[in-house]
Structures are given as C-alpha cells and as structure tokens.
C-alpha cells in the first residue's frame, strides 16, 4: 500500500530503497519537458543534488516565470489545495515546500506505475 512520505529526505530514501530512484528522475525530466521547462537531470545525480537543483529551478520559476510555474504544477498534477495551504511570505521556504509537493506527486506516479504493472 502506498504511504505518502513526510518529507523530501524520507521520500528520496524510500525511492532508493525500492530501487525506483532512477524512475523518479525520469518522471521528473519527462514532466518538466512536457511543461516546456527543459530540465535534464542525469540518472547519476545524487538525491541531495537533485533536491538542491530542483529547489533552485522552482525558486527561479516563482520569481521570474510565474505563469510557467503554474503550468508546471498543472502538468505534474500537484493538488491545488496543498499549494493554497502554503505560506508564501518567504520565497525560499515556499520553493522548498513546493519541491516536496512536486516530488511527492512524481513519486506517487512512479510507485503506482511500478506497483500495478
């Protein structure tokens, strides 16, 4: 049964433990490219580096490409009610929270695809 992770670190650890980390990277690359936000994480990227680079990308999108950021959230299918619950007063913290929501949704897709194949 799918258990939603509580934070980014546990999510990435769970993905590695279930040997689905590479699938997670592929899913992230796929959805970002569908949103015309070219991103190409190498499959060799470490979980810490993935988290840092995603955070930087989302932070820049919120600041400079807000419409594209909203489109990305739509394509990834991040629940709107979860985004609305975030406090947007600090952009750095907001970007970190959004990265977790993105990773959580991408992990759901990968996990369910693997579990029900």
Count Cα atoms within 13 angstroms, Cβ side, for 77. Answer: 7
Section 4-18 average pLDDT: 91
Q: What is the C-alpha separation between 70 and 61, in angstroms, rounded?
A: 9
**Chain segment 62-115, per-residue pLDDT in tens:** 999 999 999 999 999 999 999 999 998 999 999 999 999 999 999 999 999 999
Single pTM value for the model? 0.94
Angle at 73 between CA 12 and CA 48, to 5 degrees: 25
Angle at 67 between CA 66 and CA 73, to 5 degrees: 90
Q: What is the C-alpha separation between 49 and 87, in angstroms, rounded?
A: 25
């Amino acid at each position: 049964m799918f258990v939603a992770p509580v934070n980014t670190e546990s999510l990435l650890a769970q993905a590695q433990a279930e040997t689905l980390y590479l699938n997670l990277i592929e899913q992230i690359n796929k959805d970002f490219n569908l949103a015309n936000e070219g991103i190409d994480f190498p499959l060799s990227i470490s979980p810490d580096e993935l988290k840092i680079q995603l955070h930087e990308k989302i932070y820049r999108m919120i600041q400079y490409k807000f419409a594209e950021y909203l489109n990305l959230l739509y394509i990834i299918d991040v629940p709107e009610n979860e985004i609305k619950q975030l406090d947007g007063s600090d952009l750095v913290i907001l970007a970190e929270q959004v990265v977790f929501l993105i990773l959580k949704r991408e992990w759901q897709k990968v996990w369910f695809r693997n579990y029900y194949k």
